[in-house]
Amino acid sequence: MDPRHVNAVVVGAGAGGGVVAKELSEGGLSVVLLERGDWVSFETHGQDELINQRTTPLGNAYGPDDRSPRVVETSPGRWAVVMPNEGSYGNNAACVGSGTVSYGAMAWRYMEKDFRMRSTYGAPEGSTLEDWPISYADLEPFYEKAEWEIGVSGDMSGNPFSPPRRRPYPMPAFAYNREGLMLEAAARRLGLHPFPIPMLRNSVPRAGRNACVHNRYCCGFACPNNAKNGTQNTAVPRALATGNCELRTNSIASEIAVDERGRARGVRYFDGSDRAQYQSADLVVLSGGAIETARLLLNSKSRLFPNGAGNRYDWVGRNLQNHAYSGAFGLFDDETFDDVGPGATIAISDFNHGNSGIRGGAALCNEFIRPPYGFSGMRPPGAPRWGKEHKDFQRHNFKRSAIVEGPVQEIPVFDARVEVDPSVRDHWGIPVARLSGNRHPSDVETGRFIASKAELWLREAGAVRTWINLPGPEQRGGQHQAGTCRMGGDPKISVTDRNGRVHDIDNLYVADSSLHVTNGGFNPALTIMALGFWVGHSINEAWKGGKLG
């Protein structure tokens, strides 16, 4: 046996992979954690609005860079190569911690009905809407682990729609900023149920790290004082501290080796010097995100799986989802800006479910503080986009605005998908992902409904002018990408079983948002972490006597 053989290779050190690596190495398995990016820090780009993970005209602060293009369908049958800082790319950060370094850090549990969307609403024409094979109750203990081990500040006592929990949050909730206070009073007048957004940020010092200092900009940026909790400052260091886990950065996985008996043998990858490497292992876990995990499976062709590992029935890469973000802008006579960052403080969950004639819905939150360049593009329909009037608008309204919006839960569509491109390859010669397909028309109806509620809320809070924002028809994933390797009981219409184990390949697992059958009406990070604990736990349970049972 190869002396470098290990028990497990985990591909991707983000929300899912960082947690799985910790669980397995704490369970006593030897682990190699491959990460395509490197460690990153706040100091590299600071609070630069033109280079971060959210606004990217001059590049992605935390990767990937132009060595990793993708292909997107621009109109039926027409394709274009796009770079990682372009909107349609559907980017997730390439670094240790991935998106959890620079996310807005909202820490949502999905609701019970989010796991039973088909049972609740029925599958509309043109959709592949399905229930999850696990329930909220199954995942609840793992949500709790995520909240306590990664670190969440929150208080759900004001939210009557919150799913049941056994244990409170480990840290108190953050206070409302000025926008939050205005919106709280308005929500109560409307008979709604406002509550503070649960956040993966320290409201008090915890685990040897600082409390949040309310920086103006947070979403899209690393934290300057390490108060934002991601896997890079929690799960990954704990995995490394066991002595059982080796993290290899700048390592680009290209293929899972699958043998003649249909078992994964290891992972081929390129190291930081672009040299081809191979790591053999007893089991492999994929945590590259919904686009890269699907791409890696599709690029892993073998005799038993000529169309890619786990892709016997053409379900890998299907059902790509995101969130059909919808909401409203509001302008006020008085200043809403108090420079208490990051700005998103208040939410309502009144419209996630139970909306007449609507399938699902979304949580509504006030938006993070708008940076100046971003604000320059926020104008009511018909307002000048440039010139003296544009500048005056910017000057007058920059501190008198608010946005309320929500991650509208999408209805999955079979043809919204990730494939590998037949000709375009990345810097390492690996066929790139290509993205195509549209949202279900139902999403725009839901979006319109959610936007109308956002507008109503803003008006009640005193907005003198409002306008709405609706999603476009295209589905390209994005930072909330999900659904491409859905879990399920029937191998003909899913990719993994309920534990994230790929059908037909007993020692190959997925642990990231690819597993999501549906993507909730909430930001997905905490659910991805909870699934990391779920899959990690399941592997540890199956690991008996030095091998998978």
Partner 1 sequence: MGAPDTAPAGAGGMSRRTALKLGMVGVLGAAVGAGSTAAFARMVRRPLPRYRFLSEPEASLLVDICEQIIPRDDVAGATDTGAIDFIDRQLGGPYRRHRQAYHSGLESFSRTCLQAHGGPFQGLPKDKKIEALRSIERGEAPAALWGEPSPKDFFNMVLAHTMQSFYGSPRHGGNRGYASYRMLGLNYPQVVGQNRYPKA
The smaller minimum CB distance to partner 1, of residues 85 and 229, is found at: 85
- Helices 136-146 and 525-542 pack at an angle, to 10 degrees, of 100
x-marked contacts with partner 1 along 56-85 as a string, rule CB under 8 A:
-xxx-----------------------x-x
The smaller minimum CB distance to partner 1, of residues 275 and 386, is found at: 386
User: Is 334 a residue that touches partner 1 (CB under 8 A)?
Assistant: no
User: Is 375 a residue that touches partner 1 (CB under 8 A)?
Assistant: yes
Please report how close the Cβ of residue 5 comes to partner 1 at its closest, in angstroms.
Answer: 42
Please report how close the Cβ of residue 214 comes to partner 1 at its closest, in angstroms.
Answer: 7
User: Is 428 a residue that touches partner 1 (CB under 8 A)?
Assistant: no
Please report how close the Cβ of residue 145 comes to partner 1 at its closest, in angstroms.
Answer: 32
User: Is 50 a residue that touches partner 1 (CB under 8 A)?
Assistant: yes
- 548 by Cβ neighbours in 10 Å (0-12 / 13-18 / 19+) ranks as middle
Q: Which two tokens stand for residue 203?
A: 């409201």
Residues 422 and 436 sit within 8 Å (Cβ to Cβ)? no
Which listed residue (386, 544, 545, 546) binds partner 1 by CB under 8 A?
Answer: 386
Which listed residue (138, 339, 490, 541) binds partner 1 by CB under 8 A?
Answer: 339
Please report how close the Cβ of residue 401 comes to partner 1 at its closest, in angstroms.
Answer: 12
Cβ neighbour number for residue 76 with a 10 Å cutoff = 7
The smaller minimum CB distance to partner 1, of residues 118 and 399, is found at: 399
Q: By CB under 8 A, which span of 9-17, 141-149, 246-254, 391-399 interacts with partner 1?
A: 391-399
The smaller minimum CB distance to partner 1, of residues 385 and 425, is found at: 385
∠ CA(330), CA(334), CA(337), 5° rounding?
75
Q: Which two tokens stand for residue 227?
A: 């108060």
The residues, ordered by sequence, that sit 6+ positions from 16 with a Cβ below 8 Å of its Cβ are 287, 511, 512, 513, 528, 529, 531, 532, 535
The smaller minimum CB distance to partner 1, of residues 27 and 371, is found at: 371
Which listed residue (210, 226, 242, 394) binds partner 1 by CB under 8 A?
Answer: 394
CA dihedral of 88, 89, 90, 93, whole degrees rounded to 10: -140
H/E stretch holding 255: strand 252-258
User: Is 134 a residue that touches partner 1 (CB under 8 A)?
Assistant: no
x-marked contacts with partner 1 along 215-254 as a string, rule CB under 8 A:
xxx-------------------------------------
The smaller minimum CB distance to partner 1, of residues 71 and 358, is found at: 71
CA distances from 338 to 43, 105, 402, 462 (A): 25, 21, 12, 16
Q: Which two tokens stand for residue 477?
A: 């994933």
User: Is 383 a residue that touches partner 1 (CB under 8 A)?
Assistant: no
H/E stretch holding 424: strand 417-425
The smaller minimum CB distance to partner 1, of residues 9 and 331, is found at: 331
Please report how close the Cβ of residue 394 comes to partner 1 at its closest, in angstroms.
Answer: 7
SS3 string of 57-82?
Answer: CCCECCCCCCCCCEEEEEECCEEEEE
Q: Which contacts of 138-145 are long-range, i.e. CB under 8 A and separated by 24 or more positions?
A: 138/534, 139/115, 139/527, 139/530, 139/531, 139/534, 140/109, 140/164, 140/165, 140/166, 141/166, 142/530, 142/531, 142/533, 142/534, 142/537, 143/109, 143/526, 143/527, 143/530, 145/530, 145/533
Please report how close the Cβ of residue 371 comes to partner 1 at its closest, in angstroms.
Answer: 8
Place of tokens 């006592």: 157
Please report how close the Cβ of residue 43 comes to partner 1 at its closest, in angstroms.
Answer: 12
* Binding-site size, partner 1 (CB under 8 A): 32
The smaller minimum CB distance to partner 1, of residues 50 and 204, is found at: 50
Please report how close the Cβ of residue 327 comes to partner 1 at its closest, in angstroms.
Answer: 22
Cβ neighbour number for residue 197 with a 10 Å cutoff = 23
User: Is 388 a residue that touches partner 1 (CB under 8 A)?
Assistant: yes
The smaller minimum CB distance to partner 1, of residues 243 and 372, is found at: 372
The residues, ordered by sequence, that sit 6+ positions from 333 with a Cβ below 8 Å of its Cβ are 400, 462, 464
User: Is 112 a residue that touches partner 1 (CB under 8 A)?
Assistant: no
Q: Note the residues at the interface with partner 1 (CB under 8 A).
A: 46-50, 57-59, 83, 85, 213-217, 339, 371-373, 375-377, 385-388, 390-391, 394-395, 398-399
